[in-house]
Amino acid sequence: MILTCIVGSILISIIIIALIPRENSMKLRQQALEWSLITFALSILLLVNFHQEAQFQQIIEFSWVSTIGWFEGSPILFAIDGISIFFIILSTLLTPICILVSWDSIKFLVKEFIMCLLGIELLLIGVFSTLDLLIFYVLFESILIPMFLIIGVWGARAEKIKAAYYFFFYTLVGSILMLLSIAVIYRITGTTDYLSLTNIQIGIDGNTSIQIWLFIGFFLSLAVKIPMIPFHIWLPLAHVEAPLAGSVILAGILLKLGGYGFIRFAWPIFPEATEYLAPIILTLSLIAVIYGSLTTCRQVDAKRLIAYSSVAHMGIVTIGLFTHTMEGLIASIFLMIAHGVVSPALFIAVTLLYERHHTRLVRYYRGVVMTMPLFSIVFMVFTLANIAVPLSCNFVGEFLSLVAAFSTSTSLGVLTSTSMVIAAAYSLYLYNRICFGQLSPYLIFSRDINRREFNGQFPLIVAILLLGIVPYPLIELVRVCLPRFL
C-alpha cells in the first residue's frame, strides 16, 4: 500500500531526526530534506497508480477502540479519492520547500522545528485520507499544537505570542461546535463513519431543522479555517508573525482544510442544509471577496498584503463551492490547489527581501531589478499567477468560478469579477513599486537569490505552469468524484 508507505516514511523520518544529536544541525536539515523528498516521490507514485474508475482506493482499516458503554467501536478507514489525492501531494510538496527556505533562517531549536514540520505533514495526510468524522476532528485539531509552537517559538517579531494565541483560540473555539455536531450525529445515527452517513439522510422524517443546526456547527468551525469574514481576524497577524515556513504551511495547506471539510463532509451529509443556507454563505463570501480585495489595496506591509489577498481568494473558492454546480465544485478544488502553490510562492519572495533588508514596508523598495534580476523574474511569474493571467493555474480556477457564479446569478458574477480587477491593481502595484524605478538608496548592497533559494521556488514555478497549461488531468480526476455530491 503506497498510502501506508507514505505514512511510514514520515514516521521513520521523525524517528531518525529524534535520534540525531541536537548540535548537528546540518545533518538534521539534510536528513529532513532527504526523507521529505522521498515522501513527495511516494505521493507522486500514489497519483501514477491511481485508478480513475474506482472511488476510494489505498484503503487502510484498523480498529480504534472497542465498545465502551453506549459507544460502539467501529473500524477506522483511511483512503484516497480524486479529491484528497491532490491535497496530499500538495502537503508533501510544501514540506521539503519549507525545509529549504528555512535552511539558514532557523538558528535555534532546529531539531524541534523540523519535528514540528514533519508532525504537521503526518497529521495532514491523516486529515485528507480519513473517512471518519471523529478522527477528522481529532486530526483537524491536533494540527493546532505544532502550528502554535511554530508561530509562538520561531516567529520573527514581538507579537508572535499574541499571534499564536489568536490562531489557537479562534480555531479551537470554532471547532468545539463541530465536536458537538459530531456527538449529536452519533446519537442520531449510531455511527461516525463517512460512507455510512452518506447513505443516511439526517432529518428525512420531516425534522430538517436538526440538519440545519448540525450544519451550522460544521460551518462555523470550517469558516474559521478558510477563513471567511468575520472570522478572519486571526489570519493577517498569524501570517505576519509566523516564520517563513509557518506562512507557507498556513497559506498553502491549512487554509484549505475548511474548503476540504465542506466538500468532503458538509455537502454529502447535510444536502438540504447546504441548499437552504447557500444564499447566506454566498453573501458572506461576496463580502469577503470585495472587502478582502479593498483591504489588501491599503496595506503597506508586503507580507500583510499577501495575507489579506488570501481572504479574497478563498472567498472565490466558497462562492464556487456553494453555487451547487459542477463547474463551481471543480473550480473550488482547482482554485484551492492553485492558491496553495501561488500564495506560498509570494510569501517566499517577500521574505527573501525581508531577510536582506530587514523591512517589509513597501515604500522602502524601488529598483530591485537592477540588483536582483533573477529574483525579479521569479517574482514576476508569481505576481502574474496571482492575478490569474492565462496559462497560469489561478486562471483556470477563477474562470470556472466565474462561470459558476454567472450561471447562478448575473449580479453575483459581476460582483465576483470585481475582485479580479482589484487583484490586478494591488498585485501590479506591489511588483512595480518593488522592482521598477530608480534604485532605492536602502537597497545598494542587496544580492540576488542563491541556488538554494531558487531551488525552493522552482517546484512552485513548475506547478504554476503545469496546472495552467495542462489542467485537464486534475479536472478529470475531480469530475469523476463529484456526482455523489450533486
Cβ proximity of 113 and 87 under 8 Å: no
- How far apart CA 91 and CA 88 sit, in angstroms, is 5
Amino acid 53: pLDDT:
66
Amino acid 359: pLDDT:
84
Share of the chain residues as helix, strand and coil, in percent rounded to the nearest 5: 75, 5, 20
**How much is the pTM?**
0.91
Grid cell listed for 452: 538554494
Task: Evaluate the omega torsion of the peptide bond into residue 483 and state whether it is cis, within 30 degrees of 0.
Answer: no
What are the tens digits of pLDDT across the range 90-124?
999 999 999 998 888 888 888 999 999 999 999 99
Grid cell listed for 123: 497529521
CA angle 136, 142, 202 (to 5 degrees): 25
Low-confidence ranges of the chain (pLDDT < 50): 69-71
Amino acid 70: pLDDT:
47
Q: Which residues contact 237 (CB under 8 A, 6 or more apart)?
A: 159, 162, 163, 166
Cβ proximity of 346 and 239 under 8 Å: no
Q: Which residues contact 441 (CB under 8 A, 6 or more apart)?
A: none
